[in-house]
Structure 1
Amino acid sequence: MAVTMLGGFWPRATAEAAWALLATDPGRRLISCASLGDALAAPDNAVVVLPEDCEPDDVRTAWAPQANAPSVTTVVPADLVLDGLTSESAIGDLVAHQIEQADTVLLTGRREGDDEWETEQIRVLLHRLAPWASHTVPALHGRAEPLAPVTRGLRGHAVGVHEPVPDHGVVSCVFHARRPFHPGRLHDALDDVTDNVLRSRGHFWLASRPDLAMTWESAGELSLGPVSGWLDALPLDQWPGVDTERLLAAEIDWDPYYGDRHHHLAFIGIDLDPVHIHRVLSRCLLTDYELADGEQAWRRLPDPFR
């Protein structure tokens, strides 16, 4: 039997899930790992509890030289996950990554007060955060390689789902656009657009840096920065070295003016106003007059992100 890997930021919840799994199959071994190296050395037919700071993509990256990377289940306690996601330290990013990268998300326990509505709210939130993961049964196969939010988007995969109608208060919305952001207006709007947002992710581009694809990621704190170049700015003789999925995604969605440049941002939260988010971000796009000035003028725009 293959290795089963359980992870998550909350060791007690992960350990309880491991013991519950062993109770259904007492012939399996339980291995609690202090490091990723210990996990990689685990024998078959073992239930492996990963270190609390380990992300599923860490496992996939380390497993890359081998075939059949194991699936990773992230255990999420219903009464603690909101505190983790809203943490303004690196914990927020870690918790978000562990949920998003999981093959299976296992929700345990209930919200404080045994409120069924609030527990269901957490379940909906987890589905919005990781719509690509299994939330009911273990995945049969792990993903072969990491797909970070920006990598996922540039390869043509969804970075979120557009569900603007609240479900137990949880809202998920996706913003798409072609024309670039004005760097100054976007910078001034960041606090407004991330208000009440538990998680946001994706990629975008700035008029002042038209050659660069920028990553957008928040869970407590917002992180923005360059991640790669746009294919439209890359010499054709370098295209053979580009990931095949990204080439295909760009070809399908190529624009005669912008090339493969575009924004693809997802926002998930409780009591979000998706119309407000869309309006704020739309006001940050270049106007028709600014577009008409051309790329050389865009590059001279003051850029507070530098």
Structure 2
Amino acid sequence: MNHILKNKEGLKVAVIVNDMSEVNIDADLVKQGGFSRTEEKLVEMQNGCICCTLRDDLMKEVERLADNGDIDYIVIESSGISEPIPVAQTFTYIDEELGIDLTQKCSLDTMVTVVDANRFWEDFSSGESLLDRKEGTDENDTREVIDLLIDQIEFANVILLNKVDLLTKDDADELQAVLHKLNSEATVIQTINSEVSLEAILHTHLFDFEKASQGAGWIKELNEEHHTPETEEFGISSFVYRRNRPLHPERFMKWLENWPVDIVRAKGFFWLASRNNMAGLLSQAGTSIMIQAAGEWIATYATEEREQTLKEEPELRAKWDEQFGDRINELVFIGIDMNTAEIIETLDRCLLTNEEMNQDWATLKDPLPKFTVSA
């Protein structure tokens, strides 16, 4: 924030700062830079998260600043624990309850994520929750640090890989390659003290909600018809595990408990024999592994609804199995020095055998946690 305001290049910049702590440290730092409230229109937003309890306040504040008409750009520093998609949605729809339509007053230009290069791998493997770090919104906020960090990386237009002066060049370049693999659409810039050319982050016109929603590396990998092998610089690679046979719940549970350490990121859909009607969604980053319901398989729909869905999505019909419909395992793995052959082999052992395919799957012992349903 200090860097942007000091180098604003003639722009009239309004800054909205949201900090979860009682003392708004970030806002204090900006103030200490010598910027008056009247000129810079510094707005502090406290006691809540920008993506939930303060969303209404955010909309009102942006509308007020836009209506004043004497600024060129608004920079919003959301809390480090803010989820990016709800923040972005604030600028893409009309809030009828508040009577605010920001789409007529401003547009979202760029989503920027700052990654602490010196702490990334520590955060990645810490297994800490926001509550562990006393940063949760309340006592029920069980989100893990790495999940939030990955969400912010995968949704960004620009990623600032900061504090690279604390790493060797090879380590910084390797981490940059990992970030590029996690989000190939984003521009990754190595920085010290977050100093970056303003033209890289202001007035870029980079943000597109639909494109950002599909920018994550795992989604791109899943949607590719044919996987193109990478040069595998730094040993970073990815692949999709696809199988049209269900997973045995006990064997799959054991596989999850012995997660390969060389996998950095995994996400996708899985078919569990003991939960034949419901698709599962697996998401892994670091030590965090989550499974949840991803909705019923289309094969379970009533005939009329199923046919209508297949008519609207012909690509599904092209992959339709006569016996099992759209049920499939499609898991994307991104990692460093991954033993791909071993991962595939051990996952294949989790699939039902020919004999088990003829058994009553409902009788299989299922030790996996119950599916949670995404809100």
* Structure-1-length-normalised TM-score: 0.78
Residue aligning to 1:65? 93
Pick which of 280-289 and 194-203 moved more: 194-203
Q: Distance in 1 between matches of 2:331 and 2:228?
A: 10
Q: Per the alignment, in what secondary structure is the counterpart of residue 164 of structure 2?
A: coil
Structure 1, residues 73-99: CA drift from partner, whole Å, max 9, x if none? 212232222222223121011111111
Equivalent residues in 2 for 1:1-306, closer than 5 Å: 15=1, 18-19=4-5, 22-24=7-9, 26-33=11-18, 34=45, 35-36=49-50, 37=55, 38-40=57-59, 41-42=61-62, 43=65, 45-66=73-94, 67=103, 69-89=108-128, 90-110=144-164, 112-113=166-167, 115-135=168-188, 138=204, 140-144=206-210, 147=213, 157=223, 166-219=232-285, 220-239=287-306, 247-291=313-357, 293=358, 297-305=360-368, 306=370
Which has the larger displacement, 76-85 or 165-174? 165-174
The change in CA–CA distance for 1:172 and 1:223 in structure 2 (over 3 A counts) is same
Q: Could you tell me how far apart the structure 2 residues matched to 1:205 and 1:17 are?
A: 49
Distance apart, 1:145 and its partner CA = 8.8
Aligned residues: 282
Does the 8 Å CA contact 2:249/2:273 hold for their aligned counterparts? Answer: yes
* CA displacement 1:177-203 (0-9 Å, x = unmatched): 211111111111113344232322111
Q: 1:241 to 1:91 in 2, by over 3 A?
A: farther
On the 8 A contact 1:215/1:227 being kept in 2, the answer is yes
Structure 1 Cα separation of the partners of residues 16 and 301 of structure 2 = 47
- Residue 105 of structure 1: how far off its partner (Å): 2.4
Alignment TM-score, normalising by the size of structure 2: 0.65
Larger Rg: 2
Comparing both chains, which one has the higher relative contact order based on Cα–Cα distances under 8 Å and sequence gaps of 6 or more? 1
In structure 2, distance between residues paired with 1:120 and 1:207? 42
Query: Amino acid of the residue matched to residue 276 of structure 1?
Result: E
Residue 119 of structure 1 aligns to which amino acid in structure 2? A
Deviation, 1:242, is 6.4
RMSD in angstroms over aligned alpha carbons? 3.3
Is the 2:5–2:13 contact (alpha carbons within 8 Å) kept by the matching residues of 1?
A: no
Q: Encode CA deviations 1:190-224: one digit per residue, 9 max, x unaligned.
A: 13344232322111110111111101012221111
> Amino acid of the residue matched to residue 221 of structure 1?
S
Return 5+ residue gaps in structure 1 as ranges: 1-14
Residues 164 and 59 (structure 1 numbering): CA distance in 2 closer, same or farther, change over 3 Å? Answer: same
Contact persistence 1:171–1:269 (CA under 8 A): yes
Letter in 2 for 1:27: K
Q: For 1:17 and 1:250, how far apart are their aligned partners in 2?
A: 49
Hey, what's the Cα distance between the residues in 1 that align with 2:315 and 2:110?
26
Relative to structure 1, is the Cα distance of residues 182 and 232 closer, same or farther in structure 2, using a 3 angstrom cutoff? same
Q: Which runs of 5+ in 2 are unaligned?
A: 19-44, 67-72, 95-102, 129-143, 190-199, 371-375
The separation in 1 between residues aligned to 2:284 and 2:242, in whole angstroms, is 18
Aligned to 2:373: none
Amino acid at match of 1:250: L
Q: Secondary structure at the match of 2:332?
A: strand
Q: Secondary structure at the match of 2:75?
A: strand
Letter matched to residue 80 of structure 2 = E
- Aligned to 2:273, what secondary structure does the other structure show? coil
